Amino acid sequence: MNVLVLNCGSSSIKYQLLSMDAQPVILAKGIVEKIGLPCGNFTYKAEGRDKIAIEQPIADHSIGMDLILKTLVDPKLGVLRSLNEINAVGHCVAHGGEYFPESVKIDKEAKAKIKALGEIAPLHNPANLKGIETMEQLLPSVPQVAVFDTSFHQTLPKKAYIYGIPYEYYEKYGVRKYGFHGTSHKFVAEKACNLLGWDIRDKKIITCHLGNGASITAIDKGKSVDTSMGFTPVAGLVMGTRAGDLDLGALIYIAQKEKLDLNEINTLVNKKSGVQGISGVSSDFRELTTAWENGNERAQLALDVFAYHVKQYIGAYAAILNGVDLVIFTGGIGENDFYIREAVCENMEFLGIKLDKKINAVTRGADVTLSTPDAAIKVMTITTDEELVIAMETVRLSH
């Protein structure tokens, strides 16, 4: 069975075509970028072949999808004989609100709810829905499944998701903590337990998904009980360009001083903040590390602030969970950046965290135990694979 996995943003479409027979295999993958701009971008990498990149204007999502499908069946470049060989399509959908504690096969009702949730996720859900509707037109007889970034966190207890603001805003507008990256947090926790031969139902786990967007989740007996992102993905950790937790009074003060309107505040906290804002150098941790190695103090400060916040959340979630068996690092930074992992885990012996610094220093993009054998808490890097989860959910629900 072949599954096309799509992640549609407002101006991009990430795609992967996977064969899900026996062992999953990625047949082709790539990205369409800068949709609607004069200089569109299309990349395509088929299994065992070189990546190709084409620059051409891509007016809208439907043209972008059409380009992906045509390339997949192209006699020279393609990996399929015809589009009939695509058996199902899985969509990554950002916000499932309180409607979707699980993935769902797309029907009229599901689309209406995804559309309604565009109110609280205006940057993501409309683009996700556009992807679904475009695929319905291009592949009308193929089942489609939506996998939500929020679903895994629907098990949070109410005391963890209610904000300290008038309750009517929860009742009227659904303003509460939802959390994101759920697919990844669930996947790495289950994968680690499988590798360790553990039953997740006995375990207390803290998963640190540290990428451009970053979040931490407390998992008790396989269920998410708290997570650092909130109503939107701007909450929690300091991220690449997102502010994370912030004194709201400080934001009001800055807005008054700089005479910012709501759109500008939105841009400030989502696009100009985080390690980019602190360092003035970059949102990318590789570039920050290079700048730090070259003596840039603000790059070092940005890295220190990031690691400090991760450590704070680990401490908080150890308290919430009443103990921890396993801490997992994943995402581009979590899987690769040994400096950040070391800085996070430094001086945590009291809790039971003790890294083998030599193993940590050489671990990149692999499933590895980083803690010393005598440590009370296991620390691991686990590679995440959100597309694989979406493909597996799509297989499960599309029959």
Q: Which two tokens stand for residue 201?
A: 């139902």
284 binds ligand AMP (CB under 6 A): yes
Instruction: Using CB under 6 A, pick the residue from 331, 341, 378, 382 that binds ligand AMP.
Output: 331
Alpha carbons 104 and 96: distance in angstroms, whole number: 10
CB of 339 vs ligand AMP, minimal distance in Å: 8
Comparison of 156 and 288: residue with beta carbon closer to ligand AMP: 288
Looking at beta carbons only, is 117 or 243 nearer to ligand AMP?
243
Binding segment toward ligand AMP, per CB under 6 A, in 39-47, 153-161, 217-225, 282-290: 282-290
Which parts of the chain are beta strand (E)?
2-8, 13-19, 25-33, 41-46, 51-55, 88-93, 104-105, 144-148, 204-210, 214-220, 223-227, 326-330, 368-369, 378-381
Contact 226, 346 (CB under 8 A): no
Site string for ligand AMP, 238-267 (x = CB under 6 A): --x---------------------------
Instruction: Supply the angle between the helices 386-397 and 182-196 in degrees, to the nearest 10.
Output: 90
Count of residues that bind ligand AMP according to CB under 6 A:
12
- Residue 11 burial (C-beta neighbours within 10 Å; 0-12, 13-18, 19+): middle
Cβ neighbours of residue 105 closer than 8 Å, sequence gap 6 or more:
143, 144, 145, 397, 398
Q: How far apart are CB 51 and ligand AMP at their closest, in Å?
A: 17
One residue of 149, 220, 226, 337 binding ligand AMP per CB under 6 A: 337
At 357 the three-state DSSP class reads: helix
Q: What is the Cα 104 distance to its own chain's centre?
A: 19
Give the type of residue at 157.
P
For ligand AMP, which residue of 180, 285, 306, 313 counts as binding (CB under 6 A)?
Answer: 285
Q: Residue 211, interface with ligand AMP (CB under 6 A)?
A: yes
Chain CA centroid to CA 271, Å: 17
Are the beta carbons of 363 and 385 closer than 8 angstroms?
Answer: no
In the complex, the smallest distance separating the C-beta of residue 13 from ligand AMP, rounded to whole angstroms, is 17
Q: Given the rule CB under 6 A, which of 82-90, 101-109, 174-182, 284-292 is the region that contacts ligand AMP?
A: 284-292
Nearer to ligand AMP, 40 or 233 (CB): 233
Per CB under 6 A, does 212 bind ligand AMP? yes
**Nearest residue to 93 via CA among 143, 50, 148:** 148
- The amino acid at residue 383 is T
Considering the rule CB under 6 A, would residue 332 count as an interface residue with ligand AMP? yes
Selected binder of ligand AMP within 104, 206, 333, 388 (CB under 6 A): 333
Is 286 one of the binding residues for ligand AMP (CB under 6 A)?
Answer: yes
Of residues 145-204, those binding ligand AMP (CB under 6 A): none
336 binds ligand AMP (CB under 6 A): yes
Cα–Cα nearest to 18, from 88, 117, 112: 88
Catalytic residue, candidates 74, 149, 337, 367: 149
**149 assigned to active site:** yes
Closest approach, Cβ 341 to ligand AMP, in A, equals 10
Task: Using the Cα atoms of residue 2, residue 29, residue 118 and residue 62 in order, give the sign of their dihedral.
Answer: negative
Task: Please identify every residue annotated as catalytic.
Answer: 149
Residues that bind ligand AMP (CB under 6 A): 211-212, 240, 284-286, 331-333, 336-337, 364
